[in-house]
Amino acid sequence: MGEVLDNLLERYAERVATRRVVIEPGAVSRLGALLKSHFDEPRKFLVLADANTWDAAGRAVASALEAEKLPFQTLILEPRRGQAKLHPDERLVEQTAERLRETGALGLAVGAGTINDVTKAASFNLDRPYAVVATAPSMNGWTSAIAAVVVNGLKMTLSSRAPVLVVGDLDILARAPERMVGAGFADLTAKWVAAGDWRLADRLVGSGYDPEVEEISKAAIELLDGWEEGVAERRPEALERLMEALCISGLSMAVAGSSAHISGAEHLFSHYIDMMLPEVSERELHGRQVGIGTLCSAALYEQLLRWSPDDLDIEACIASRPPWEMRRKAIERHFGHLASVVIGQVTAIPTEGPKLRARLERLVSLWPELREELAEAVAPRALIEEKLRKAGAPTHYGELGLDGRQAVEILEWAGDIRNRYTILHLAAEIGRLQWWARDAIGRFGQK
């Protein structure tokens, strides 16, 4: 194990900041030595954790640093008053950056998504390297050069720099809550549909496609083929594969300089929940939300693959778009205080008559070829559902505490929160979004 990842780290050494990923039982006991070999003097660290991750691994990390006589301080991050969950927002990034600045220390994140993102963003702002000790294989951001941070209430993916060292101690990862393990697996399944959005966006808005990046993200997901039950049972080899796959997936983002190939409409589904349904996201996990988004997206793709441009009346599509002023008012009503950030994203994809006409004409002329590409890139909904179920991830929106009306609403509005073209945008432009969204949600729970 580990060769695929090690080879990639070597091959892309010039393009990625990560020098080493260690995934093995008892890895934390080697932490001191690893830090010494990957960081220059003076080596002072700021251990960042929250109450849960401190319990999971913080103490073991502190002992490992003491054993090697590495000086460190600790910062336990706390949720905002009245919130149960820690959110990676600008307040935490600033708080972390301030402590790093004061102490002159390097960040040593002990945690999963939130702690890693906060430490990554704060370290990047100060132009300092950092390291992370993973407490749960719950998402693929370990080795990515992007930090997901909530800015003005909107989850943004900020350019950043990956950690120099990632330590995944299998003894610690095996104790991670079951739902976090399922979440990590589900975050990876996004690739099965996001690859379709990536092709679509490249063909219709020219946003770029890179077969090399596609190969890397494929290598990640292939590592888990047939290991779904092992993941649910948290068997050591399955967790090792999961953690390696998550790191390869993150690395593919660092190589691409973007997350477009593994983050499309299914991630917008999750980001929309974080933004607009805090009562859901407060008790949920990114990956679990993404898994349900992936099933929705796969259902939308099944509709698109059955669709034919013979049914398309381009002039009618253009004529039926509401005038911008009306649309702006609708966005203001729906998104309230978040409307101005949303409007900034919406206006970044031009939809005025001539631009939309050109895009739809392109869709028609490319369709036979594009349809084939999409059919190859996107996995069938039933297959994804089976994998998610076996891996212990949710397969029904009700498991997130959403009702059908909310789920449809998410699909109808999520395209507006980001300027990345996806099937949600295309479906809206060809006048099918409302119908396809209802159909996609109606298919949950059906045999």
- Nearest CB to Zn ion, comparing residues 420 and 432: 420
Token duo for residue 380: 């069938």
Q: What is the distance between the alpha carbons of residues 213 and 209, in angstroms, rounded to a whole number?
A: 8
**Least separation, in Å, of the C-beta of 389 and Zn ion?**
19
- Nearest CB to Zn ion, comparing residues 169 and 187: 187
* 197 lines the binding site for Zn ion (CB under 5 A): no
Residue count, binding to Zn ion (CB under 5 A): 1
- Nearest CB to Zn ion, comparing residues 187 and 429: 187
* Tokens 């330590």, located at residue: 167
Give the ranges where 206-320 is alpha helix by DSSP (H).
Answer: 211-222, 228-232, 236-256, 265-276, 278-281, 286-306, 314-320
Residue 338 DSSP code:
G
**Least separation, in Å, of the C-beta of 239 and Zn ion?**
18
**Least separation, in Å, of the C-beta of 187 and Zn ion?**
4
* Tokens 């739809």, located at residue: 360
Q: What is the distance between the alpha carbons of residues 184 and 173, in angstroms, rounded to a whole number?
A: 12
Q: Which stretch binds Zn ion (CB under 5 A): 93-101, 181-189, 302-310, 331-339?
A: 181-189
Angle between helix 265-276 and helix 191-205 axes, rounded to 10 deg:
100
- Nearest CB to Zn ion, comparing residues 269 and 301: 269
Q: Which stretch binds Zn ion (CB under 5 A): 9-17, 184-192, 208-216, 235-243?
A: 184-192
* 214 lines the binding site for Zn ion (CB under 5 A): no
- Nearest CB to Zn ion, comparing residues 47 and 262: 262
**Least separation, in Å, of the C-beta of 271 and Zn ion?**
9
- Nearest CB to Zn ion, comparing residues 135 and 289: 289
Q: Which stretch binds Zn ion (CB under 5 A): 30-38, 97-105, 187-195, 246-254?
A: 187-195
**Least separation, in Å, of the C-beta of 262 and Zn ion?**
7
Helical (H) or strand (E) element with 156: strand 154-159
* 302 lines the binding site for Zn ion (CB under 5 A): no
- Nearest CB to Zn ion, comparing residues 370 and 393: 393
Asked if 424 and 293 count as a contact pair (C-beta separation under 8 A), the reply is no
Q: What is the distance between the alpha carbons of residues 251 and 216, in angstroms, rounded to a whole number?
A: 8
Q: What is the distance between the alpha carbons of residues 89 and 228, in angstroms, rounded to a whole number?
A: 33
**Least separation, in Å, of the C-beta of 222 and Zn ion?**
18
**Least separation, in Å, of the C-beta of 160 and Zn ion?**
15
DSSP per-residue codes, 102-120: HHTPEEEEEESHHHHHHHH
Q: Which residues contact 157 (CB under 8 A, 6 or more apart)?
A: 146, 147, 148, 259, 263
Among 89, 117, 169, 187, binds Zn ion (CB under 5 A): 187
List interacting residues with Zn ion (CB under 5 A): 187
